[in-house]
Structure 1
Amino acid sequence: MNSDSPTSSAPRPVSVVIVDDSEVVRAGLSALLGASALIEVLGEGRDVASGLAAVAQYRPDVVILDIRLPDGTGFDACRRICQSNTETRVLILTSVEDEEMVDNAIRAGAHGYLLKEINGTALIDAIRSIAAGKSILDPAITARVLSLMRSNTPSTRTLVDSLSAQESRVLGLIAEGKTNKEVAMEMGLAEKTVKNYLSTVFEKLHVTRRTQAAALYAQAQAASRT
Structure 2
Amino acid sequence: MITLLLADDNPRMLAALVQLLQREFVIVDALASGEEVLAKSDTVCPDIILLDISLGDLTAFQVSDQLRRRGCPSRIVFLSVHENPEFVRAAIEIGAFGYVFKSQISRDLVNALHAVAEGNQFFSNSET
Provide TM-score, normalisation by structure 2. 0.90
CA-to-aligned-CA distance 1:125-161 (integer Å, 9 cap, x gap): 2101101110111121xx5xxxxxxxxxxxxxxxxxx
Alignment partner, residue 35 of structure 1: 23
Q: Is the 8 A contact 2:9 2:55 kept in 1?
A: yes
Aligned to 1:79: 65
Matched with 1:8 is none
**Letter in structure 2 aligned against 1:27:** A
* Amino acid in structure 2 at the alignment position of 1:124: V
| CA positional deviation for 1:54 | 2.3
For structure 1, which runs of at least 5 residues remain unmatched after alignment?
Answer: 1-12, 144-226
Report 1:147-226 matches (<5 A).
none
Identity of aligned residues (%): 26
Q: Structure 1 or 2: larger strand share?
A: 2
Structure ranking higher in helix proportion: 1
**Superposition TM-score, scaled by structure 1 size:** 0.53
8 Å CA contact 1:15, 1:41 repeated in 2: yes
Alignment size in residue pairs: 128
Q: Is structure 2 residue 92 aligned with structure 1 residue 106?
A: yes
Q: SS at the partner of 2:43?
A: helix
Q: CA RMSD in A?
A: 1.8
Poorly superposed stretches of 4+, deviation over 6 Å: none
Gaps of 5+ in 2: none
User: Could you say if the C-alpha distance between residues 121 and 33 of structure 1 is closer, same or farther in structure 2, counting changes exceeding 3 Å?
Assistant: farther
1:70 aligns with 2:51: no
Aligned to 1:7: none
Any conservation in 1 of the 2:51–2:77 contact (CA below 8 Å)?
yes
> Where does residue 41 of structure 2 map in the other structure?
55
Contact 1:59–1:85 (CA<8 Å) still a contact in 2? no
Aligned 8 A contact 2:50 2:77 in 1? yes
CA contact (8 A) 1:44 1:54 kept: no
Give the equivalent residue in structure 2 for 1:189. Answer: none
Match of 1:96 among 70, 82, 97: 82
The answer to whether the 8 Å contact 1:22/1:46 transfers is: yes
The question of 1:25 aligning with 2:17 is answered: no
Give 1:119 shift: 4.1
Judged with a 3 Å threshold, the aligned counterparts in structure 2 of structure 1 residues 92 and 119 are, in CA distance, closer, same or farther, namely closer
Q: After superposition, what is the alpha-carbon deviation per residue over 1:101-133, rounded to whole angstroms, capped at 9, x for unaligned?
A: 112212222111110122446322210110111
